[in-house]
A and B are shown apart, each in its own frame.
Chain A
Amino acid sequence: MEKAGTLKKRSQLQAIWFRFKKNKLAVFGLILLIILVGLAVFAPLLVSYEEDVIAQDVYNKMQGPSAEHIFGTDHYGRDLFARVIFGGRMSLLVGILTVVISLCLGAIIGSSAGYFGGVVDNVLMRIMDIFLSLPQTIMAVAIVAALGAGLQNLIIAMVVASTPWFARVVRSTVLSIRGQDFIEAARACGTPHKRIILKHVIPNSIGPIIVQATLEIGMAIMSIAALSFIGLGIQAPTPEWGSMLSEAKSFMRNDPNLVIIPGIAIVLSVMALNLIGDGLRDALDPRMKN
């Protein structure tokens, strides 16, 4: 029985991977993301943080692309390529971190609300509704501004702002699975709650939630960049795509590269995540594809 279960599970994953593989755009997104993550992870091997990212070299400021500096240099003469890949470290790390934390918190809140129902559901979800009635940007801005700019506060703000959203997604997914006939069937057979949750509810709801989380990492990267852009996120001289854009804004007229290149880095990573998310959604539920 157990063995049959795991076998079926593996073949299901294989089927999903097979469908995902057939989707060229999704595969492109995956490759793109692997490259971006690879650059971020191995950034210290490629360039030196102290020399290329932080140390100023004002005699060589705002140089165009050259063999030595493939994207050119910024207004302090720092290598733009080095700053972009170290910036990616920050953006991707914070993006993934906030989504993972808020997903876990949201899953706890959402699944308790969805599973216990009644008063618990009402109280938890009314509180979440209050958070959700304000735009996420305003909530995050308010928190990080009150706490003071910085990496840790930025993560706290992002987590508080996006947890209610995840709670709602998880809750509605759990509810929709719970209402389905095969759960009724399992219950009618006398299957214990724990087994229903572990064997039926979680495996069936995890797919859509992973899809949402993937898409949400992209959104988080954009929000983090936006917060840093208005001076609330990661502080100079630590490179982060949003704060780099904020600094570059004043030099835009003389050196558009400083604005264009970090922006493209954001767009590429968000796009990669969106492609993967869409591809996963189609692979999980082929009927939804049109």
Chain B
Amino acid sequence: MLKFIGKRLLMMIPVLIGISFIIFAIMSLTPGDPARLILGEYVEDEAIQAMRDELGLNDPFFQRYFDYMAGLIHGDFGVSWVSDLPVLEEIGSRIPTTLTLAFIATAIMTIVGVPLGIVSAVKQYSFLDTLCVFSAFILASVPSFWLGLLLVLLFSLTLNILPATGVDSWQNFILPCITLASVMMASLLRMTRSSMLEVVRQDYIRTARAKGADEKRVIFHHAIRNALLPVVTLVGLNFGNLMGGTIIIENVFAMPGLGTLILNSLYVKNTPVVMGGILFIAVCISIVNLLIDITYSFIDPRVRDRLKG
């Protein structure tokens, strides 16, 4: 198992290098001069030139990329071109907001979506099933930012019970978390339901019934674990999408998180901050996916064996 984790961590390195290269290329090779964007249109050309020299923007692309990566290897993420603060410090102050959002939303999505999917499948064609399928279907067609606006409209502007913007208290997180979780929950519920329906048709479920196992035992002892296999993978996938979604949702609820930081830095091509922020997100997603694979191997002996071998 440790060997597997080590191998997976090593495999992250080329992916992260790839991402860093793509993002660095996007930042450097697209039109628009960071110095001009940061200093503004009405600054004299000498000041712009001075800044370009200082930031090393006049060097060739590959040299700049290798300089950046060399720094990264020594743990140096650089300094924000806008605030002159170390990138780690800038990102660090934003991480708690974004990770809180992402993890609570993942938890809500899983805790609500998976059991509902199972119940929905077990009671196929019942009123509850119809309701679940219908709401999941509607939710799957709703853009998250619009759902966020509607929730603000209802809970903040009309009912006046929850704050619409900011990060001052835990109540600020309620609406954004629900927003992020709801949309992802739809796919999870649908996947759980269809996976469960697929599993109960399998021969081994018939074998269990033939042994005289009652419905409860068939579902809990035989079906659920098998049905959860694809669901676990989807939780990991959804976590990634959810991290991406925070860029939009932080904007809706005016939360100063990592997404907002990245977005604002993108506008002015504040490369070190964009690189640091996106690499952090990539590392988070990789680690969650590693955790998902480890969970998977606990559920499925076939995977466990493959990891050993």
Q: Which residues of A contact B (CB under 8 A)?
A: 126-127, 129-131, 133-138, 141-143, 145-148, 218, 222, 225-226, 229-230, 242, 245, 249, 252-253, 256, 259-260, 263, 266-268, 270-271, 274, 290
Given contacts A130-B18, A142-B278, contact A135 B26 (CB under 8 A): no
Question: Looking at the complex, which one of A135, A146, A222, A270 makes contact with B244 (CB distance below 8 Å)?
Answer: A135
14 examples of A-B residue contacts, CB within 8 angstroms: A129-B15, A137-B248, A138-B278, A141-B263, A142-B23, A222-B143, A225-B143, A225-B146, A252-B152, A259-B146, A260-B150, A260-B153, A267-B142, A274-B140
B141 lies within 8 A of A271 (CB): yes
Q: A137-B245, A141-B263 known; A263 and B146 CB under 8 Å?
A: yes
| Interface contact A142-B18, CB-CB below 8 Å | no
Give the A-binding residues of B (Cβ under 8 A).
Answer: 14-15, 18-19, 22-23, 26-27, 30-32, 124, 137-138, 140-146, 149-150, 152-153, 157, 194, 197-198, 240-241, 243-245, 247-248, 251-252, 262-263, 266-267, 269, 274, 278, 281-282, 285-286
Nearest chain B CB to A272 CB, angstrom units: 9
Closest to A290 in B: B197
Contacts of A129 in B (CB 8 A): 15
Given contacts A130-B15, A146-B269, A266-B146, contact A229 B141 (CB under 8 A): no
Given contacts A143-B26, A226-B144, A270-B140, 11 further A-B contacts (CB under 8 A): A133-B15, A133-B18, A133-B19, A138-B244, A138-B278, A146-B26, A230-B251, A242-B143, A245-B146, A260-B150, A267-B141
Question: Which one of B15, B19, B146, B197 has the highest number of Cβ atoms from chain A below 10 Å of its Cβ?
Answer: B146
CB-CB under 8 A from B124, the residues of chain A are 290
Whether the Cβ atoms of B157 and A263 lie closer than 8 Å is no
Q: Closest 4 CB pairs between A and B?
A: A135-B244, A137-B244, A130-B18, A145-B266
Q: Which residue of A lies closest to B12 (CB)?
A: A133
CA distance A218 to B139 in the complex (A): 13
Instruction: Determine whether the beta carbon of A270 is less than 8 Å from that of B141.
Output: yes
B278 contacts which of A131, A134, A253, A270 (Cβ < 8 Å)?
A134
The distance from the CB of A157 to the nearest CB of chain B, in whole angstroms, is: 10
**A279–B262 CA distance with the chains assembled, in angstroms:** 39
A245 x B149 contact (CB < 8 A): yes
Would you call the interface of chain A mostly helix, strand, loop, or mixed? Answer: helix
**Contact of A136 with B138 in the complex, beta carbons under 8 Å:** no
**Given A135-B241, A222-B143, also A263-B149 (CB < 8 A):** yes
Complex: how many Å from CA A138 to CA B140?
Answer: 20
What's the Cα separation between A253 and B158 when bound, in Å? 8
A131 surroundings in chain B (CB, below 8 A): 22
Closest approach, in angstroms, between the C-beta of A84 and any C-beta of chain B?
A: 14
Once the chains are docked, how many angstroms separate the CA of A137 from the CA of B262?
A: 12
Which of the residues A134, A147, A260, A266 comes within 8 Å of B281, measured between beta carbons? A134
Contact A230 B263 (CB under 8 A): yes
Whether B149 pairs with A252 at a CB distance below 8 angstroms is yes
Residues of chain A within 8 A of B26, CB atoms compared: 142-143, 146
Partner of A226, one of B22, B32, B248: B248
User: Given A142-B23, A146-B266, A226-B248, does the pair A259, B150 have CB atoms closer than 8 Å?
Assistant: yes
A147 and B247 form a contact (CB under 8 A): no
- A146 interface neighbour in B27, B142, B285, Cβ under 8 Å: B27
Are the C-beta atoms of B142 and A229 separated by less than 8 Å? Answer: no
Residues of B within 8 A of A130 (CB): 15, 18-19, 22
Q: Which residue of B lies closest to A161 (CB)?
A: B244
Chain B nearest CB, measured from A152 CB (Å)? 13
